[in-house]
Amino acid sequence: MTPASPLQAAWTRIADLAARPSAHHIRPLFAADPTRASRFSASFEDLTLDFSKSSIDSAVLTALLDLAAAAGLKGFRERLFAGAVVNPTEGRAAMHMALRSPRDGGMRAALPGVIDDASVLAANERDKMQAFVARVHSGELRGATGQSFDTVLNIGIGGSDLGPRMVTEALTVVNGPKLRARFLSNVDGHAFKALARELDPARTLVLVASKTFTTLETMTNARAARAWLAAALGEAAVGAHFGALSTNLQATAAFGIAPDRVFGFRDWVGGRYSVWSSIGLPVALAAGWETFQAFLDGARAMDRHFQTAPFAENLPVLLALVGIWHVNALDLRTQGVLAYDERLRRFPAYLQQLEMESNGKSTGLDGQPVPYLTCPVLFGEPGTDAQHSFMQLVHQGTQAVPIDFIFAAVPDHDRPEAHRILIANALAQAEALLRGKSRGEVEAEMRAKGVSAADIAAIAPHRVFTGDRPTNTILFQRLDAYALGRLIALYEHKVAVQGCLWNIDSFDQWGVELGKVLAGGILPELSSGATPGAHDGSTEALIGRFRALRGE
């Protein structure tokens, strides 16, 4: 018999631990060691990750760390930061970390046939962005009528929308925006119609965010915005009101955008990792350059922590390993994220792309089907809103759903009692998921309230909570730009670690590309007189029905 490789042995050990009858149980771990939170948590600066409310014990944690070693995580981390090709299907590095490094950071990134001095290129683009932001804020750059801009409209989709939208909303709540920011992503014409009602074309700066300047949804919306602005101010006004976040200078020039208003980024920056690049320009315009720089600095701090901390103390590694235990050992296929901070209300949507587009893969780097589950389905809402929607399922549904609770200790408002209520709810939800409520507890509680024996027998089963539902808690001092940058980078590196352990490419997204190609083929078939293409029977019928309902 061929002996198992260290990697196979590591996966087998985890499977053996998961097969124990106690593998899903958490309460007995606290009963045996009430102070386990001190051993199953880790901190970096003021940021703490507490994963003690999971069923990970010392044996499991050791096995998970052994898996990381056997999977070559140390070498992967070194290759990632060295700018090696970690996106083999496209022959590229994934060097988004260079976007927040200093000019002399020395980061280099591989592209097919080229090695970029990534730190320098990123710094050059930042300088250009900073100068542009300063000119807009000072009023030196104005619209065609001579009025200063009061609004920036960002037109993008996917990573060109989710990141800047989420970060801008989070960082402009406390002090208000320097420029009002609006975002247009959905190609549905109703979205732009609603936006146009509230925008003054004379005072609106429009940024079109598309690396290739060909993204169908984005360019459709960009042309609508261009027509709207030209109708109000004249065709000659377009150049004064548009900028582009793109690398296609020929296409941006044809659109009417001057080269000094085009801000680019290289192919070693994936869309879902691009908020640190020129894609973050609306963040800087809305929140100010100092805030944007602090945002980059926070991410840079997490980069250094991930790059240097031992795995047993490394927050991205530990967060990733907890997820591996839940998905691959316990077969938990969903993941919830509850940020108890209204400023992070778009954070779950951002993480959906970051995690599911990165690790929603079923083919390994060896070209073979992955023999185990990969990315869970991720969802979330802000607390306390979530408590009145999907948390019923999390507490009493048929499958446990791991939850990440995220909150700050210090708010940036003058209602301390509201913040205490907010955090009491977060802590109570996590504790309730751990503790549950037994049949005996329910019956005793009902008897104490004078409920009849018949009603207790009928109702008590519906009030039982199994408990032993796993959660992580991520706690930090306050949500400022630095903390937000650090938090996002924590999850970025978590995703990369899990991709390494699953042996998949976390930096391509071919499934997204297929939908784009098929949409391009169907589009002309939706017009009257078009010849239908070859589709499955359902798609052909729906195209016909669509045209019939339009009278075509």
SS3 content of the chain, % helix, strand, coil (to 5): 55, 10, 35
Per-position DSSP letters for 132-182, written without gaps between them? HHHHHHHTSSB-TTSPBP-EEEEE--GGGTHHHHHHHHHHSTTT--SSEEE
CA distance 66 to 36: 21
CA-based Rg of the chain, rounded to a whole angstrom?
A: 26
Look up residue 60 and give its two tokens. 């499991």
190 flagged as catalytic: no
Catalytic one of 355, 357, 381, 492? 357
153: left (phi over 0), alpha (psi -120 to 50) or beta: beta
Look up residue 74 and give its two tokens. 């140390």
* Listed residue (252, 273, 255, 284) closest to 128, CA to CA: 284
For residue 208, the cross-strand partners are: 155, 244
Catalytic one of 388, 417, 449, 462? 388
357 flagged as catalytic: yes
CA distance 550 to 545: 9
Displacement of CA 12 from its chain's centroid (Å): 31
Q: What is the dihedral of CA 476, 482, 488, 489, to 10 degrees?
A: -110
DSSP state of 87: B
Catalytic one of 74, 193, 413, 516? 516
**Could you give the 3-state DSSP secondary structure of residue 377?**
strand
445 flagged as catalytic: no
Active site residues: 357, 388, 516
